[in-house]
Structure 1
Amino acid sequence: MGEVVNVAVAFLVIIFIFRWVTTAGTLSSSSSLCALNTGDVLGFRPKNVTQEMIDAVTAVFPDIPPDNIRYDLLRTGNVEQTTNKILERGFLDAPPPQYYTVYPRQSPAPAPPPAPTPAPPQKETLISRYGLHDRLAAEPSILESEIGGKAVWEDSPEKREASLKERKARMILAARQ
């Protein structure tokens, strides 16, 4: 019986040594070491995150920093959960300093110089639309009682239209002051 125990112990020692040697060989590869260190550094096993996932959340919430989005996606691995967290809380937690050792901040690519664009068309003002430039300089001030004035019903449609235009002009000039 004693020899069976010795054989069993020797067998377990050989298995232990074999596993230790094969595991040590695997740890020397950079990808396994990086994955192991990433989990150790962050304190959780990160999920796979693509740039499309980050872009999808950034498109909906442009005010949330991309590092916060990536950190939350590394934890959840799900765009919907990250989006729901932003909707519920209004923000995402900032990543801890250890995050930046694994995922260094990328300086934004320099923006290309803006292409020369033609001068934008001038917005039309009410003064220019109603042709009141000459009246703007001529009338010193308009009293509040004169702004709208009391409308008098004119006999012809042409007189009513002229009266309406005059009242509009006075209101525009008064608003300008």
Structure 2
Amino acid sequence: MGEVVNVLVAVAVIVLVVRWVSSGSKDGNGAPSPSTVLGFRPKTVTPEMIDTIHAMFPDIPSDNIRYDLLRTGNVEQTSNKILERGFLPAPPPAYYTVYPRTPQPNAPAQPAATNPNAAAGPSKAKKQDNLITRYHLEARTSATSVGAEPEEAGRKAVWEDSAEKREASLRERKAQMILAARQRLLAQQAKEAEGAGP
């Protein structure tokens, strides 16, 4: 009699374990659970966590951020990973079966301007903001002629002794590259103007 009770208890335990395991792989609606699809038990992720990281790193897609947060559950760990690697890996295709793609936020709608010149103001400001004005090279552009290439544009950099000298050298090389590109653009525009002339 004792053996029969032991067998019945063992069968009941096995049935309960099988039910518990099979119920963990499906949600209440019959769909596979996120842990089954993703291959790990996802942590709780709030929209605030995603927004925090997205505000710090706007070039990282929201889906990549959410996927990493599902793994780590920690904003700091995900931020450190971005700082160390420079990117976050894209989620696998199975991720999109559980979490549909998030649409990229559109640019905020600007209020309609009654003055047509007011609407043209920001676009004019963007057009005027070029590399010459950004790096304050206006005085140097007037000093160079259209046909002349800046003399130091192709020169190899020399490793300077101090950080200040290296920074100044880098700024000068940047300026030379911008001026050289401007000279090439002006020369190309001059050739096109000659070719289009009567």
Same fold by TM-score greater than 0.5: yes
Which residue matches 1:12?
Answer: 10
Q: How far off its partner does 1:4 sit?
A: 2.0
What is the alpha-carbon distance in structure 1 between the residues aligned to residue 13 and residue 51 of structure 2? 48
What is the alpha-carbon distance in structure 2 between the residues aligned to residue 12 and residue 22 of structure 1? 15
Letter in 1 for 2:45: V
What is the alpha-carbon distance in structure 2 between the residues aligned to residue 4 and residue 102 of structure 1? 48
Q: Which residues in structure 2 correspond to 1:115-154 (within 5 Å)? A: 115-117=111-113, 118=115, 119=118, 120=121
SS of the counterpart of 2:94?
helix
Q: How far off its partner does 1:116 sit?
A: 2.4
Sort the Cα spacing of 1:111 and 1:47 in 2 relative to 1 into closer, same or farther, 3 A. same
Q: Which residues in structure 2 correspond to 1:103-118 (within 5 Å)? A: 103-108=99-104, 113-117=109-113, 118=115
Q: How far off its partner does 1:40 sit?
A: 1.1
In terms of Rg, which structure is larger?
1
Any conservation in 1 of the 2:27–2:33 contact (CA below 8 Å)?
A: no
TM-score of the superposed pair, with normalisation by structure 2: 0.50
Report the number of matched residues.
119
SS of the counterpart of 1:10?
helix
Structure 2: runs of 5+ lacking an equivalent:
126-144, 146-198
SS of the counterpart of 1:94?
coil
Q: How far off its partner does 1:28 sit?
A: 6.5
SS of the counterpart of 1:97?
coil
Letter in 2 for 1:63: D
What is the alpha-carbon distance in structure 2 between the residues aligned to residue 43 and residue 89 of structure 1? 23
Sort the Cα spacing of 1:22 and 1:63 in 2 relative to 1 into closer, same or farther, 3 A. closer
Which residue matches 1:43?
Answer: 39
Any conservation in 1 of the 2:53–2:65 contact (CA below 8 Å)?
A: yes
Any conservation in 1 of the 2:45–2:66 contact (CA below 8 Å)?
A: yes
Which residue matches 2:150?
Answer: none
Q: Which residues in structure 2 correspond to 1:1-177 (within 5 Å)? A: 3-17=1-15, 29-30=28-29, 37-108=33-104, 113-117=109-113, 118=115, 119=118, 120=121
What is the alpha-carbon distance in structure 2 between the residues aligned to residue 28 and residue 57 of structure 1? 30
- Computed over aligned residues only, the root mean square deviation of the Cα atoms, in angstroms, reads 3.2
What is the alpha-carbon distance in structure 1 between the residues aligned to residue 6 and residue 52 of structure 2? 57
Using CA pairs under 8 Å that are at least 6 residues apart, name the structure with larger relative contact order, 1 or 2: 1
SS of the counterpart of 1:62?
coil
What is the alpha-carbon distance in structure 1 between the residues aligned to residue 46 and residue 102 of structure 2? 16
Identity rate of aligned residues, in percent?
A: 52
Letter in 2 for 1:72: D
Deviations, residues 87-139 of structure 1 (Å, cap 9, x unaligned): 0110001101111111111334665642124524988xxxxxxxxxxxxxxxx
Sort the Cα spacing of 1:113 and 1:56 in 2 relative to 1 into closer, same or farther, 3 A. closer
What is the alpha-carbon distance in structure 1 between the residues aligned to residue 112 and residue 53 of structure 2? 32
SS of the counterpart of 1:39?
helix
